[in-house]
Amino acid sequence: MRCPYCGSNETQVKDSRPSEDNSAIRRRRVCGDCGGRFTTFERVQLRELTVIKKTGRRVPFDRDKLVRSLQIALRKRSVEPERVERMVSGLVRRLENMGESEIASSAIGHLVMEALKTLDDVAYVRFASVYKNFREAKDFEALLGELSGDDDLAGDAGADSGAEAVED
């Protein structure tokens, strides 16, 4: 496994253990050249998934990218990283079980929104505001209306949602 910091191939596994829900093996690695430490996960992949972008372009499904976009939407929210991991694993299994190897990015966005809605209201609005590409304030208000009042929604929702990362 190549070092993400310096690009060296001289990395060693220091520690290896199952993730909390036993769906992955987590390995702590250290680089012999720069001393950088990083973690890798080994997971079951039932099916190779390809994402079809709005533009029609096809790219391999990237789990890490999905995690990053969720982390942006969930920034400063108190959601356990383990819950996010489980949510992503669940999403990926659902995608794999759709029976299609090619999946529209919009279908993925829809699943993500569904999952976020149960996980965290604020993250849901952040994600949805970019994903749904709200053009009018009333769209946004309608969505807020679906949720119970939450004071910190208005200030930072939308500006930095992870939804772009899913699409781009």
Per-residue CA distances from 118 to 8, 10, 129, 133 (Å): 41, 42, 16, 21
Q: Does 41 bind Zn ion (CB under 5 A)?
A: no
Least CB distance to Zn ion at residue 62 (A): 22
Helix (H, G, I), strand (E, B) or coil at 128: helix
3 in contact with Zn ion (CB under 5 A): yes
Q: In what side-by-side order are the strands of the sheet with 50-52?
A: 58-60, 50-52, 102-104
Identified binder of Zn ion from the candidate list 27, 29, 31, 162, rule CB under 5 A: 31
From the list 27-35, 75-83, 84-92, 160-168, the region that binds Zn ion by CB under 5 A is 27-35
Cβ atoms of 146 and 132 within 8 Å: the answer is no
Query: Is residue 92 part of the contact set for Zn ion (CB under 5 A)?
Result: no
Q: Is 8 in the site for Zn ion (CB under 5 A)?
A: yes
**Which residues in this chain contact Zn ion in the complex, by CB under 5 A?**
3, 5-6, 8, 31, 33-34, 36
